[in-house]
Amino acid sequence: MAMTGVLRPGHMQLRVLDIEESVKFYKDVVGLVETGRDASGRVYFKAWDERDHNSLILREADRAGVDFFAFKVLDKATLEKLDADLQAYGLKTERIPAGDLLETGERVRFEIPTGHLIELYAEKTDVGNGLGYTNPNPWCAQSEHGIAPTRLDHCLLYGPDIDGALDIFTKVLGFYLVEHVLLEDGKTNLAIWLSCSHKAHDIAFVRHPEPGKLHHVSFLLETWEDVLRAADIMSMNKSSIDIGPTRHGITRGTTIYAFDNSGNRYEVFCGGYQPYPDSHPITWTWDEVGTGIFFHDRALNDRFLSVVT
């Protein structure tokens, strides 16, 4: 498909309780690459195979959770158009100046009906992945440090009005619905998976009474063997594992979920299928929701459903 408009997830700012402990965790266990620190004390990371300067920003706070999740758009003209489209839809937008985040251009920020702050931006400094643009090797030493995911892939957010979020993402931002789970009435969405690309999802939402909650941030691995290796690394570092390794029925991805030292849940996964905008959305009914979430166990994990930050 032609990549226009919103291209992909770009960055997340995550709140952590102890910045230095969290830096050590995301460097040594998750295997991200530190790329900078700013005057406010935020620490910046990217996955080894990402070329843009940052995809995860850590901020010390008194409670864990997500500050904002951002998407990169094609160019400045696209950013201007989407800002105007969001305002025409009825949303208030805020311009965050270039340089507020290290090596990142101007951002457009807006709040969606689930209580989350979403950002759009067009420019971020390309710092490379250690391989170069001419005659590159297939991997570098950083790809073997810790779990070492290749990129920030998606997030799952919890909030009350997921139908409102669905409307904005599909009607204004150009996303399409890939899969959804229905409640017992067979009509109301419990959860939705949305894509702006040909990935199984770039963002997902679950209906939840509290606004602005993070269920997990997800990083991509290349193989099922990498997921199993990640489980070993988590256990060797006594990292708290939520569930897995296992498979999702929804998206078909293979996965493991764990918690960082602040209680934020993160996922590493691989696989899934490649939908396109003309793909018919897949529906999961309430009686099979356990199979949809955890295909092997065919049952839900209460902690998986209820623990959010």
Query: In the structure encoding, which two tokens stand for residue 299, read together?
Result: 């049952």
For position 272, what pLDDT does the model report? 84
Report the distance separating Cα 146 and Cα 139, nearest Å.
15
CA distances 277 to 19, 68, 115, 201, Å, are 40, 26, 27, 12
Most confident of 77-81, 135-139, 294-298: 77-81
For position 304, what pLDDT does the model report? 74
Task: Yes or no: say if 291 and 241 are a contact pair by the CB < 8 Å rule.
Answer: no
For position 161, what pLDDT does the model report? 96
* Mean pLDDT value across the chain: 92
Q: Which amino acid is residue 4, in one-letter code?
A: T
Catalytic residues: 154, 201, 216, 248, 257, 267
Report the distance separating Cα 67 and Cα 178, nearest Å.
26
Q: Is the pTM of this model over 0.85?
A: yes
The string over 117-127, giving b where at least 16 C-beta atoms fall within 10 Å of a residue's C-beta and e elsewhere, is bbbbbbbbeeb
- For the chain, residues classed under CATH 3.10.180.10 are 6-125, 151-306
- Tell me the pLDDT band of 2, cut-offs 50, 70 and 90: low
Contacts of 108 (CB under 8 A, 6+ apart): 79, 82, 83, 86, 93, 94, 95, 96, 119, 120, 121
Helix (H, G, I), strand (E, B) or coil at 68: strand
Task: Yes or no: say if 147 and 128 are a contact pair by the CB < 8 Å rule.
Answer: no
Query: Which CATH architecture best describes the domain 151-306?
Result: Roll (3.10)
6-125 topology per CATH:
2,3-Dihydroxybiphenyl 1,2-Dioxygenase; domain 1 (3.10.180)
Asked whether the predicted pLDDT for residue 296 surpasses 90, the reply is no
For position 282, what pLDDT does the model report? 86
